[in-house]
Amino acid sequence: MDTLSAGNASSRPNMIDPFGRAVSYLRVSVTDRCDFRCVYCMAENMTFLPKKEILSLEELDRLCSAFIEKGVRKLRLTGGEPLVRKNIMVLFRSLSRHLESGALEELTVTTNGSQLTKLSRELYDCGVRRINVSLDTLDDERFKAVTRWGNLQKVLDGIEAAKAAGLQVKINMVALKGVNEHEIIPMMTWCHANGHDLTLIETMPLGEIDEDRTDQYLPLSMVRAQLAERFTLTDIPYKTGGPARYVTVEETGGRMGFITPMTHNFCETCNRVRVTCTGQLYMCLGQDDMADLRAPLRASEGNELLSDAIDEAIGRKPKGHDFIIDRRTKQPAVTRHMSVTGG
């Protein structure tokens, strides 16, 4: 895997799905565990996977490297909370060789921010330049209510540490009706004043939680219309590799993204696949169809079986997702929790 070089990166074949979309972005969950219990993501009393089912750091490295060899240019490590995985920086440091060779354009992470005071400088040293921090409120009491176990000041200190280390921070805010919708403008103002982009995300119907999602769902089409009454929003072609559609806010000078799986899906341009911490490849976040990569990974020291399994799975990538919030059944569209697939 170390033979990948800048010279052959551009000539590597892309993984092309049945609808002609090139898969160039891989999101890998390195753990299903988290030190928070956010109300839209997890039940408070979660049952986590046995450790033997979780891919080792060495297996995660092999798996990521196989995808990079097949044309993945952007790699995001997720969780659960990825930075609580024991020795996780060993994996970051190992994967950084693909940045140095030019085979990988970007190595990044989505985090709740709780570990950033400790790990920001090392992340930067491993070639990470941009991170996403999930932050749904700047109100201390509401933060405790949303995350159940989180400490807001610890997260804010972590964001400052990330900035000081040279990392570009994008804030991800899940818009929750009746919970934080009145905080969207203050969050935008705070983000832009501190040099952070803000992305708003609609809640997604993944996994049984302790709340009623029909009460949580806030359409971002409505949020954007309300923002446009007070601010000048200009659509821009800016992309980070993910599904967000961005605008500039003239009054603040900052960027704002909207991720709208419910009101305006982004399936036609989907370039992403996700691997869980147990090695299950999901070709679509909103479908249950998956391919087991752990078995071929563990069946041989070589990567031929793994490569064939990846090719077969990409050939089944669907045209779009099945997300729907059903007021009649109140069941999630997909049974697994967001923390299993990594968002």
204 is in an annotated binding site: yes
64 is in an annotated binding site: no
11 is in an annotated binding site: no
Residue by residue, DSSP assigns 274-314 as: EE-TTSEEES-TT---EEE-HHHHHH-SSSHHHHHHHHHHH
Neighbours of 19 (CB within 10 A): 12
126 is in an annotated binding site: no
Q: Which residue has the tokens 């909370």?
A: 81
25 is in an annotated binding site: no
130 is in an annotated binding site: no
Closest CA relative to residue 330, chosen from 198, 165, 210: 210
Q: How far apart are CA 284 and CA 65, in angstroms?
A: 21
- Count the helix, strand and coil residues of the chain and give each as a percent rounded to the nearest 5: 35, 20, 45
277 is in an annotated binding site: no
Bridge pairing between strands 272-275 and 280-282: antiparallel
330 HSE (CA, 13 A, CB side):
8
Contact 170, 133 (CB under 8 A): yes
272 is in an annotated binding site: yes
327 is in an annotated binding site: no
DSSP state, residue 206: B
Closest CA relative to residue 320, chosen from 243, 268, 262, 244: 268
Q: How far apart are CA 211 and CA 199, in angstroms?
A: 23
> What is the b/e burial string over 270-286, where b = at least 16 CB atoms within 10 angstroms of the residue's CB?
bbbbbbbbbbbbbbbbb
128 is in an annotated binding site: no
Q: 104: which residues sit within 8 A by CB, 6+ positions away?
A: 68, 72, 73, 74, 75, 95, 98
Phi, psi of 157 (to 5 degrees): -65, -35
274 is in an annotated binding site: yes
DSSP-derived 3-state class of residue 131: strand
80 is in an annotated binding site: yes
191 is in an annotated binding site: no
Binding region for [4Fe-4S] cluster:
34, 38, 41, 267, 270, 284
Binding residues for S-adenosyl-L-methionine: 40, 80, 134, 204
Query: Binding site for GTP: what residues are annotated?
Result: 27, 76, 110, 170, 272-274
Binding residues: 27, 34, 38, 40-41, 76, 80, 110, 134, 170, 204, 267, 270, 272-274, 284
